[in-house]
Every structure is written in structure tokens, then in C-alpha cells.
Amino acid sequence: MKAIFVAYNQAYNEEIIQVLEACGQRGFTKWEDVGGRGTRDGEPHLGNHAWPTQNHALLAVVPDEKAADILDSLRRKDRENPDLGLRAYAWTVEEA
């Protein structure tokens, strides 16, 4: 199994869940109003007067065979709107 963590601009909220559903993944945990700043470029998303945009974050534990499709779909979405900000990471889950 893989854990996929996604940090993304709040504007993507419904689209990220649609990616999971399209790949057959039902379960996830989501956090709203998450601050952050990219490592290379983009504006900070801190939810304050200077940087009002916020991020959301999502964690899904998925079967290995779904992980690549989900990550590919998220990469495509990020390439379509690079200014919004979307980062996805996956790692192996030893137990669930």
C-alpha cells in the first residue's frame, strides 16, 4: 500500500477529490486552511492579510496498483494550472 499526501491550493478542492474518485479511491482524510510556501516558486498560501490564499491537504492510503494513476492525474492537473500550486508525495505503508 502507498500513502499519498497532497498539498494544494483551495481552488482545487473538489477537483482533487474527483481525481481520487475517477481512480476508484474512496477513502481519504482532508485538512483545510493549511498554510505553506513552495520550495522553488509561487506565492505563499498563508491565509493572512499579505498572502490570503490558503491550501488544503489530503492523505489517502491506496493499493499499490492505484498509486501511479492517482499521481499521474495529479501531475497533469498541476501542469494545467502551475500557478495554483499542487504537490503530491507517496511513500510505502508498512501496516494499516
Mean pLDDT of 63-84: 94
Residue 91 has pLDDT above 80, yes or no: yes
Sheet (strand 86-92) strand order: 29-34, 55-62, 2-9, 86-92
- Determine whether domain 2-92 maps to CATH 2.60.40.10: no
Domain boundaries, the chain: 2-92
Give 17-56 pLDDT, tens digit per residue: 999 999 999 999 999 999 887 777 777 777 788 877 889 9
| Cβ neighbours around 16 below 10 Å, total | 24
Mean pLDDT of 60-81: 96
Residue ranges of alpha helices (H) inside 1-96 are 13-22, 64-80
Mean pLDDT of 12-19: 94
